[in-house]
Amino acid sequence: MTSWAGPAALPGVVGLDHIGLAVTDLEAAVVLHTEILGLVLRHRETNADQGVVEVMLSPAPDGPGTQVQLVAALDEHSPLHRFLAHRGPGLHHLAYAVSDVRNASDILLRRGFRLLYDAPRVGTRGSLINFVHPKDTGGVLIELVESAAQTQGQG
């Protein structure tokens, strides 16, 4: 049976932006996802604030759609380094596209969820991001992403 969001549900979730995979060997993971699985490499970026090198790939040749984000630790201080040491490579986070990351974070905070940052930080391609603690969301690290286009009022 279809369940519709109630009035207290999070507003402005506009899509599943990406699925984050923690990897130890970024170049091997890129080869797997492009040469074997046939995804298209769309973007590569180092995010020192997040302690990661990340690569965005898309299964759709004619548009980005939901993407796969490969994330590798930049150094041993990275949260990714800790994750890989404890749990090994694998699914790391789910990123929902939201129309307003501050608003979404505030609403979740008021409902008792732990947000990792007091204010959004910069994510891939100039997006604004925050995370909900995995212990509050059934063991899944949830990222909220407001794309740069949305921030600039273009989308």
- Here's the x/- map for Co ion, 43-82, by CB under 5 A: it reads as --------------------------x-------------
DSSP structural state of residue 112: T
Q: Is 18 a catalytic residue?
A: yes
Which amino acid is located at 29 in the chain?
A: A
At residue 36, φ and ψ (nearest 5 deg) are -95, -50
Query: Rule CB under 5 A: is residue 20 a binding residue for Co ion?
Result: yes
- C-beta of 100: minimal distance to ligand V0V in Å? 17
**C-alpha dihedral, 87 to 24 to 117 to 97, nearest 10°:** -100
Query: Rule CB under 6 A: is residue 82 a binding residue for ligand V0V?
Result: yes
- C-beta of 126: minimal distance to ligand V0V in Å? 10
Paired sense of beta strands 13-22 and 67-73, if any: parallel
Q: Please select the residue that binds ligand V0V; options are 21, 54, 104, 120, rule is CB under 6 A.
A: 54
Q: Please select the residue that binds ligand V0V; options are 19, 79, 94, 109, rule is CB under 6 A.
A: 79
CA geometry: angle 28, 32, 34, nearest 5 deg: 115
Query: Rule CB under 6 A: is residue 114 a binding residue for ligand V0V?
Result: no
Q: Where are the alpha helices (DSSP H) in the chain?
A: 26-31, 79-87, 101-110, 148-151
* Residues 37/121, Cβ–Cβ less than 8 Å: no
Contact residues for Co ion (CB under 5 A)? 20, 69, 95, 143
Contact residues for ligand V0V (CB under 6 A)? 20, 47, 50, 52, 54, 69, 71, 79-80, 82-83, 86-87, 92-93, 95, 116, 123-124, 127, 129, 131, 134-135, 139, 141, 143
